[in-house]
Amino acid sequence: MKIFFLLVALFLGLSLGEQATFLDGVLTSGGPAVKPADGSRLFVVVDSFASPMGYSMGLGCDGYYIWNDEAWSRYFARIDPVTHAVVNTFTPTYGNRDMAFDGTYLWASDWETYRIYKYDTSNCAILATYDPGFSGHAHGMAWDGNFLWVGEESGRIYKMNTTGDTIRSIPSPGSYPSDPRGLAFADGHLWVGHQGYGRIYEIDTITGAILNYYSAPGVVPGWRFQQGLDYGGSYLWSTSGGSVNMIYKIDIGMVNVEEHRPISEVKTGLSIKPNPLNHDGRINFTILKASVVKISVTDAAGRVAAEILGTQLLDAGDHQYRWQADKCPPGVYFVILRVNNINLAAKIIKL
């Protein structure tokens, strides 16, 4: 495995210490990326590690852990995304393709039974099952906050409720017999993994129109193994199976979505008053234990507009900081609060 990854790195002309940068579907360089002038998303691999699976397939993010399943088997692993350590393993009755987390339960598709399964994350007991109602194999899965999105191999992508009723469907990007692969939902758009073309697409959920596409990490000529996909912890996560067998953490430049896992370190989250504001704003939050905290403000394009608090260790309790916004033009901004390894974001309007 290590030898293969070394050959891949050498093939791409990267040192093992560099981070691969993908912009508009092209591997451009190692190291930091510059956002394209045309406004396309930033797409940067910021971390990667070997999957514990023999053939990595599906990915799900429960807000804290990464879930990974194995092709052709009944084996789930729950992984710490920071240490990369396997926290738990499970051998459920079904489920060997992609995964999605609805805030409480884990959902997984099964290629062989064509069905969708709902799991208790504490023990992987099956709580419900349904037939998605299409003729092809069930594969990619995503959760948009209210509905599941399920990909049919060699077919379309279906928006469904949690009892299996189809709301509507959209075309899957790129015609290829074994796609779509992984699905993820972020920033109002659907992200679609495509094994045949070695790409990750960002598409419109109404029309299915392709908004952007990028080279899937772990893909080199002749080796197209993009599999599972999910969004969590402010990052897009992708996995490549086969002999690559890696999990990738990807920055897609999002700052306008709050972390959707329970934040144990933060009691009351993050608030800004007044909102909208004219001149000065008060940033309020409560932490339950001494924590390393950083606060910044970005504009709608993700550019840093103000550094409110550099990285500091703060005591437990209530905290308030002031944002003097006089020099900032009117518009939409986001206050980014980082507590230890957790990011929270709050939208604010400057009049």
What tens digit of pLDDT does each residue of 47-63 get?
Answer: 889 999 989 999 999 87
pTM of the predicted model as reported, rounded to 2 decimal places: 0.64
Taking the CA atoms of the chain, what radius of gyration do you get in angstroms? 21
Contact 97, 108 (CB under 8 A): yes
Query: How far is it, in rounded angstroms, from Cα 246 to Cα 85?
Result: 14
The CA-based dihedral angle spanning residues 10, 13, 16, 20, taken in that order and rounded to the nearest 10 degrees: -130
Provide the pairing of β-strand 189-194 with 183-186: antiparallel
Q: Residue 73 has what DSSP assignment?
A: S
Which residue has better confidence, 137 or 221? 137
- Tens of pLDDT, residues 114-150: 899 999 988 889 999 998 888 888 889 999 888 999 9
pLDDT at 158 > cutoff 80: yes
The DSSP bridge partners found for residue 349 are 332
Q: What percent of the chain is predicted at pLDDT more than 70?
A: 80
Contact 203, 183 (CB under 8 A): no
Report for 142-151, 202-211, 265-274, 336-345: range of highest mean pLDDT = 142-151
Query: How far is it, in rounded angstroms, from Cα 86 to Cα 26?
Result: 32
- Output the CA–CA distances (angstroms, integers) from residue 76 to 52, 168, 207, 265, in the order listed: 10, 30, 34, 28
- How many residues in the chain? 351
Report for 3-12, 215-224, 253-262: range of highest mean pLDDT = 215-224
Contact 174, 132 (CB under 8 A): no
The residue-averaged pLDDT of 203-218 equals 85
Question: How many secondary structure helices (H) and strands (E) does the chain include?
Answer: 1, 29
In 3D space, the residue among 98, 109, 103, 91 whose CA is nearest the CA of residue 68 turns out to be: 98
pLDDT at 35 > cutoff 80: no
Which residue has better confidence, 5 or 303? 303
Domains of the chain in sequence order: 2-251 (2.120.10.30), 266-350 (2.60.40.2360)
Query: How far is it, in rounded angstroms, from Cα 239 to Cα 217?
Result: 8
- Tens of pLDDT, residues 312-334: 888 888 899 998 888 888 887 87
Q: What are phi and psi of 5, to 5 degrees?
A: -65, -35
Query: 10 in helix, strand or coil?
Result: helix
pLDDT value of position 106: 92
Query: How far is it, in rounded angstroms, from Cα 151 to Cα 158?
Result: 6
pLDDT at 107 > cutoff 90: yes
